[in-house]
Structure 1
């Protein structure tokens, strides 16, 4: 039987809310077995950019990462957000280690092509150093990855945290039973974005396509669900989307995704 591992991705909205972040960190620390945490921090980066009078450019909901923006992202993701989460996990007796993809050569990527849209220093993942991650897990260390990778030639790259979580989950699925959780500030995928109680509790690949056609799944939820099904199709055992209550198991209101 494969050993179990839980992979939790948390969004910037939860990182910004100290009370919800504390609840989430405590629940994650109490999860049994091996675990990995992946986090974003886009809202923090936007706030820091505003404070430094550096414009934030977005195209179709995606950040344009020029050199100044990459510096901001590195400070926000690998600095404040990452070390805040790691310190909170240490307080919960979870021996965490904060990482970017450059640390331990853990996640490499290539710079996204400039056509049709030049997103700047944005990376598409090419490899996950699973032996390094397993070494950490085998020694009782919980990796905490921020949303930065590298190109193996000295260049950091801004990389979608949902994608990082999905690719780590896929790499680990060869030797582990993987549970992948996408945790954000909503209780799940919503039938009505204005009604937090309208959670769709189960989405299959077929119903996902129906939700797309109906426009119920739209905007930023599309790439998130794409990553979910990408992970399921490549060996990840279970994928769930919800808020911090999904991890605390205080209620069963979240979205479970399956292929059929």
Structure 2
């Protein structure tokens, strides 16, 4: 393997999990941004969520245009952070099914590795009930594809697990925060595109048009209820916590100044 292990920063992991939990009906996908060190360790520090043009419950596809746009964003991020950032891999969700990649996932991963041998794949299994505890659990795996078919026979791709480590972070970085705020907009755009396709059919009767508009409105309200509302509340709670922390640090600074003045006078 071209990658020895993967270090995923906690705030990037939060973005991936939030995106995966945004829907339990179809798979979601995105791209991983970061850098590779001399020990062939991939450090993932940013995530780019991708808008799905075709929502399917069991498959996701990344277009060449999306890869090109992601590479451009990685270059912009590299200039902003003054670090050699690039696209390191992709991630997608498995709602209600196992975390292990399907044969389609393994072939897709192999195709990406033809372009970049260090390309990695992450899969997040969500809304999958544990048979013993009867509770939903979240699982994640990191993998690459290896061809065991040899150089002369037909390709026989199999998954190979890559060690994954979640690296703690002091807080949510600006890149991760921008991605979280972007998520409701992406979901609304996807619903808008799906609704726009129904309006292109001029032969629909009035009752069908009203039904389609009602479903579209319901989907938008659902996004506001399960995504926008909790996200705003979480950000407000974090803002409140940060203000409280700032007050503590300010008080601590004043105490240290007072101790310093006491030492000087004594």
Whether TM-score is above 0.5 comes out as no
**More RCO (CA 8 Å, sep 6+):** 1
Q: Which has the higher helix share?
A: 2
Provide the TM-score with structure 1 as the length reference: 0.32
